[in-house]
Amino acid sequence: MKFSIDRARFINQTSNVQRAISTKTTIPILTGMKLDLTETGLTITGSNSDISITSFISKDDADNDLKIESVGSIVLPARFFNEIIKKLPGDNFKLEVLDNNQTLITSGVSEFTINGLDAVNYPHLPDVETDNQLVLPTDVFKEVVNQTVIAVSTQESRPVLTGVNFLITSEGLTAVATDSHRLSQRKINLTSDEDYNLIIPGKSLTELVRTLNDSVKEVSMSISENQVLFSFDNIMFYSRLLDGRYPETDRLIPDESNTRLTFDSSKMLSSVERASLLSHESRNNVIKLEIKAVDKKATLYGNSPEVGTVEEVLDCESIEGDDLEISFNPDYLKDALRSFGSNTMIEMSFTSPLHPFTLRPVEDSDNFVQLITPVRTF
């Protein structure tokens, strides 16, 4: 294996693949980055037990300045290899595999000899059939992920809850996540010939969304029994799926309410951020919302015995229904409010002090709901 390549182009591609590589893996070869050189170009691969990412640098794209002398494969220690490439002096670098997987990297006045590993021992990538692809606009897909992934559980006690449930039917795609204290559900239109019900790990989705920069217009999704493959540009992103049945969540979302507020998401977020400054200092991290519908007044209260108290009169568009006092974790409300984007008009609906309440965008209330369970304080 021997080639030379444009350094900036190469760095660009390794930075994507790098997301899949962990230094804390129990399989030593997975701390490495795999390079496969064929007559058509160079494929870079990174992997951990959950995700695998490959990026292809084509010989045909003149900007890559890829000159191939001999094909082959090698696995190089990812962290060093990347640091070395980033610091090399030239615009290009040469890479040559010598005997015993020793790899010579030269650029300008610098010459590195790195101990590589035999690529034969690198795990195989999952087999995913790509005949039946679902195609999604990147901006919509990123929105769905960002709006739901906030509610996935970080506890491993119920593994399915660490993922987002994607339900794909003839009616479209429904994405749901819940950690049993809060829930987020988003629906979008999507045409699919087949029905799917899959649970994608939240961490995979977070990494995937980071890989999707603004130049990517569409993402193709291919689903197999225990893997999902997202492909875009020259990148293939594999994630394992979570085993098990995702709980039925539809019945958790109340369809009636006794008290309703409407407000601007950004104004409310600022108020909650202030109120939570003090609740974060108290042991139970709870703030209280008091609604006096007759007076058209809603007030947030936060306190910490050590530091002091805070009182925020909320700037609401409308206040309707019964009076109410309800307490909850302000961080859940902050996450929910951020998921709607800035300056979006929100309806917040309550049944009683001990029942979950919902937040929906006024403009698209059927397709997006955030649900939060209150905290009993009496």
Given the rule CB under 8 A, which residues bind a copy of itself? 77, 80, 83-84, 87-89, 102-103, 109-115, 270-271, 273-274, 277-278, 281, 306-315
For tokens 């875009």, the residue is 232
Between 109 and 120, name the residue whose CB sits nearer to a copy of itself: 109
CB of 118 to a copy of itself, least distance (A): 16
CB of 99 to a copy of itself, least distance (A): 14
Q: Could you give phi then psi for residue 341, rounded to 5 degrees?
A: 80, 170
Between 242 and 268, name the residue whose CB sits nearer to a copy of itself: 268
* Helix, strand, or coil (residue 141): helix
CB of 69 to a copy of itself, least distance (A): 21
Contacts of 100 (CB under 8 A, 6+ apart): none
CB of 317 to a copy of itself, least distance (A): 15
CB of 17 to a copy of itself, least distance (A): 19
Q: How far apart are the first and last CA of the chain?
A: 71
Between 84 and 253, name the residue whose CB sits nearer to a copy of itself: 84
Determine the distance from the C-alpha atom of residue 262 to the mean position of all C-alpha atoms in its chain, rounded to a whole number: 29
For the range 319-322, what are the long-range contacts, defined as Cβ-Cβ under 8 Å and sequence gap of 24 or more?
Answer: 319/260, 319/261, 319/291, 319/293, 320/259, 320/260, 320/261, 320/293, 321/257, 321/258, 321/259, 321/260, 321/293, 321/350, 322/258, 322/259, 322/293
Between 81 and 368, name the residue whose CB sits nearer to a copy of itself: 81
CB of 292 to a copy of itself, least distance (A): 15
CB of 74 to a copy of itself, least distance (A): 13
Between 315 and 325, name the residue whose CB sits nearer to a copy of itself: 315
Contacts of 353 (CB under 8 A, 6+ apart): 324, 325, 326, 327, 374
Between 154 and 343, name the residue whose CB sits nearer to a copy of itself: 343
The answer to whether 218 and 137 have CB atoms below 8 angstroms apart is yes
CB of 282 to a copy of itself, least distance (A): 12
CB of 216 to a copy of itself, least distance (A): 32
Between 20 and 117, name the residue whose CB sits nearer to a copy of itself: 117
Between 100 and 215, name the residue whose CB sits nearer to a copy of itself: 100
232 token code pair: 């875009």
Q: 266 exposed, middle or buried (CB, 10 Å; 0-12, 13-18, 19+)?
A: middle
Measured CA to CA, the distance from residue 55 to residue 61 in angstroms comes to: 14
Strand boundaries in 160-286, DSSP class E: 163-169, 172-178, 182-188, 196-201, 218-223, 227-232, 235-240, 259-264
Between 54 and 276, name the residue whose CB sits nearer to a copy of itself: 276
281 token code pair: 């200092």
Task: For the beta carbon of residue 337, count every other beta carbon within 10 angstroms.
Answer: 26
